[in-house]
Amino acid sequence: MIMGSWKKGFYALIAFFVPLIAVVTPYDIEITNYLRAHSIVGFREFMAQTIFEGDPPGGGDPVVIFIIISLLLYIIGNLRKAPEVIRRWRPFYGFILATSLTGSVVMVRLLKFFIGRARPRLVFGEAGLPFTNWYEIGPQAITKSFYHGSFPSGHTASVMCLVCLLYIYSVRNGRKEREWVKRFFLAIPILAYAALMALARTMSYAHWATDCLFSIVAVWAIAHLFFYAVLRVPEVMQRTGGGLPAPPKLWELRFSLYIALTAAGVIAFGRGSAELYGGWGMRSAIMAGLGFIIAIAAFRRGRLLRRRALGL
């Protein structure tokens, strides 16, 4: 029942957000400039800072603490003498970590690298870089975009990792009507937090409005697919709770690391190929070749690990 109905939720997510992005896209510049003109200085600085980067406490701290706690519980759950309640929820902690790594790091860096969209401050500032839509290749693609690209918003993507909490109610035993009500009221503060981060990043001219909106959609979609289709968390938790053999230890974390390695290989291949296009060079050829090998090898190892863990 659970595994057979997950597609409806995914289609509903896409059906809501895709038209929303389509409506916002033509007014991306106007919305971004409006938010900048009405920005609250203290608010936008607070949302960008975090104690984990040497700043005072800020808006980025709750999600980092959430991920750290999930990592600790995940590690404890893989220990031989772990408490039963933690061991039972280990697949869920692994789901949080895999979604966080893939959604807020891999997806963000991969798209930044290849899209290369210039940030608003570089478009309207002295740099004078050209404006491009979120679906177009920008002026910083491949060369300077890994850290500096505007699309998508990494801060907003990180906050959206909290959406994993909504899926607690997909593995709990309770009345379906009540679970949906609880999920709805839990979604409100999570989406409000993501909206505040999106507003702050747009107000600071660090991102366009569509950068942040896309991050909200993409991370939620990744979480939904990971929970039901990729990691199959409900199925694994039922199997573990029923006394059947548990999947290999730390497999969710290892699987997400293989995804990261695959993305790193793709980035290296893209960078090397771009340099080769501009002129032949041994370093570029080696980078492209190694990137291709790493991407293929990591993808195959990750697929094999998943098949073994899920008994496919």
Do 14 and 113 lie in one domain? The reply is yes
Do 131 and 46 lie in one domain? The reply is yes
The Cβ of residue 292 has, within 10 Å, a number of other Cβ atoms equal to: 16
> Is residue 178's pLDDT more than 90?
no
3-state secondary structure of 140: coil
> Is residue 242's pLDDT more than 50?
yes
Q: Is residue 239 part of a domain?
A: no
Position 196 confidence tier, pLDDT thresholds 50, 70, 90: very high
Residue 283 CA to residue 280 CA, distance in Å, equals 9
Do 131 and 158 lie in one domain? The reply is yes
> Is residue 173's pLDDT more than 70?
no
Domain hosting residue 255, numbered range: 247-312
Domain count, the chain: 2
Q: Which of 168, 198, 232 is the last residue of a domain?
A: 232
In this prediction, residues 51-67 reach a mean pLDDT of 93
Residue 278's pLDDT is 63
Residue 161 CA to residue 101 CA, distance in Å, equals 9
284-297 pLDDT, tens digit each: 889 999 999 999 99
Contact between 114 and 151 (Cβ < 8 Å) = no
Q: Could you tell me the CA-to-CA distances from 219 to 157, 214, 243 in Å, in that order?
A: 6, 9, 32
Q: Is residue 134 part of a domain?
A: yes
Residue 156's pLDDT is 97
Residue 145's pLDDT is 58
Let me know the angle formed at the C-alpha of 209 by 15 and 202, rounded to the nearest 5 degrees.
Answer: 145
> Is residue 117's pLDDT more than 50?
yes
> Is residue 131's pLDDT more than 80?
yes
Q: Is residue 191 part of a domain?
A: yes
Residue 227 CA to residue 233 CA, distance in Å, equals 5
> Is residue 301's pLDDT more than 80?
yes
Burial of 148 (0-12, 13-18, 19+ CB in 10 A): middle
Q: Could you tell me the CA-to-CA distances from 125 to 35, 119, 131, 202, 299 in Å, in that order?
A: 16, 10, 12, 15, 41
38-57 pLDDT, tens digit each: 999 899 999 999 999 888 99
Which helix H or strand E contains 194, and what residues bound it? helix 176-203
Do 280 and 198 lie in one domain? The reply is no
> Is residue 1's pLDDT more than 50?
no
Burial of 31 (0-12, 13-18, 19+ CB in 10 A): middle
> Among 33-42, 94-103, 172-181, which stretch is predicted with the lowest mean pLDDT?
172-181
In this prediction, residues 94-117 reach a mean pLDDT of 95
Q: Is residue 181 part of a domain?
A: yes
Q: Is residue 237 part of a domain?
A: no
> Is residue 276's pLDDT more than 80?
no
Residue 225's pLDDT is 96
Do 26 and 164 lie in one domain? The reply is yes
